[in-house]
Structure formats: structure tokens, C-alpha cells
Chain A
Amino acid sequence: MTPEELKDLQVDKTVDARGTACPGPLLEAKKAMGTIDPGQVMEVLSSDEGTKKDLPKWCTKKGHDFMGIVEEPGYFKVFMKKG
């Protein structure tokens, strides 16, 4: 999906992990993923640069759909759909 499409996307769950460094965002994402249903969309807010590599890889390995990253001032959003 393009960043424009992602910005308009209706998300089912938002995880704000901006206050934490690695491995905080990864663990927050894992915990939150357990609370949503397959097919639902989650966004993870992070300002930890390593998260941009970590979360897409984690999604692929765990069978979730990594949808893309949108940059915001001072942080970014990682979008994923539960598999």
C-alpha cells in the first residue's frame, strides 16, 4: 500500500511505543497482536530506528502481513495485518 492509502486506513488497534527503546516496540507489538483477530489491522507508533527493520521481519516470520511504514514528525507508524 502507498503511504497515502495507509494514512486513510481504518486501524483496529494502535500501539504507542514511542517512549521505549528496542526491544520495547517489538514486545509491545507482540502483546497487542494477541488481543486482535486475524484480518484486523494494527499500527505501532515508534521513534526507535531499529523498529523499522525489526517489525517487518517479525511480521513475516510470524505469518502477519506487513503493510508499510508512514513517517510522521519525530516518529513513524508501522502497519500490519494479523495473519
Chain B
Amino acid sequence: MENKKMTMALFSGSLDKLTAAGIVLSGAAADDMDVDIYVLLQGARAFKKEIGDNPDKLPMAENPDLKQEFLNSLEQLKVKTWVEFFKEAKELTNVKIHICGLAGKIWGGEKLEDFIDLADDIVGISEYITSAQEADVHLFI
């Protein structure tokens, strides 16, 4: 049986939405889906090497005043960081992470080495559209 295919447009670069994306991705990994993630505007900032898993450099999309409580709860519940979720999913299933070329440039990232090791390549928008057209599940986070 061929694996189901998921395409995710990851626009968000906030701690809460990246965590949610990581959990959704884990579900897809448990289901052996083939996943293509297209990292768009704000997401590309979070994928910069100097940002990544550093919560001090990532905002909250909602309830910004509850950021510390959010982080404390994640730690207490032993929830992985968003980068760890993405890393584990890549180990479990076929996940490819594509950085939008324009988004990268906006945040000063020209080359693949400017982004955390999880990123596979830098692409243009038509790849995302093609992937979305072929996907069984298509998400915009």
C-alpha cells in the first residue's frame, strides 16, 4: 500500500503554532505518511540557525503574556520542543522540509547552511503548489 501524502504550508514562526505543527507532524509520522513541509514567511525566521529551539527568540501567536506558563507546562508534561518533534518525525517517516527562497532572504538566509540541519532544500513557490495539488492532506499553519 502506498503511503498517504501530506503537504504542510508552515507560515507561522511562533512557539505555540510551531509546537502544534510538530504534534500534527508526529501524528502523520505515526501513520507513515510522506510529508512535504514548505516553510513560508514567519516560519523561515524560526528555522534560522541562530533562532531554532531558542524560546527567548520566538514569540507566541496567542496569549503572549502566558508564554512562561506555556513553557512551564510543556516542560512539566515532558512535551518535546518543536525542533525535537520535527527531528523525531524525520527519523520515523519520509519528511522533507523546504524553505521558501524569498522568505529565507527576508530574514537574511541565502543558503541552506543558514538554516537548522532539518531543512532539506530551498525552493520556489511552484513546488509548493504542485505538492499541494498532489497531497491527500493539505494544511496551512
Contact = CB atoms under 8 A, between A and B. Distances in A.
Interface bracket on B = 10 to 19
B30 to A, nearest CB: 5
Nearest to A48: B77
B78 A31 contact: no
A30 interface: yes
A19 B23 contact: no
Interface residues of A, number: 14
30 contacts: A19-B78, A20-B77, A20-B78, A21-B77, A21-B78, A22-B23, A23-B23, A23-B26, A23-B27, A23-B30, A24-B78, A24-B79, A26-B26, A26-B27, A26-B30, A27-B26, A27-B29, A27-B30, A27-B88, A27-B92, A29-B30, A30-B29, A30-B30, A30-B92, A31-B92, A58-B30, A58-B31, A61-B31, A62-B31, A62-B32
Interface of A: 19-24, 26-27, 29-31, 58, 61-62
Interface of B: 23, 26-27, 29-32, 77-79, 88, 92
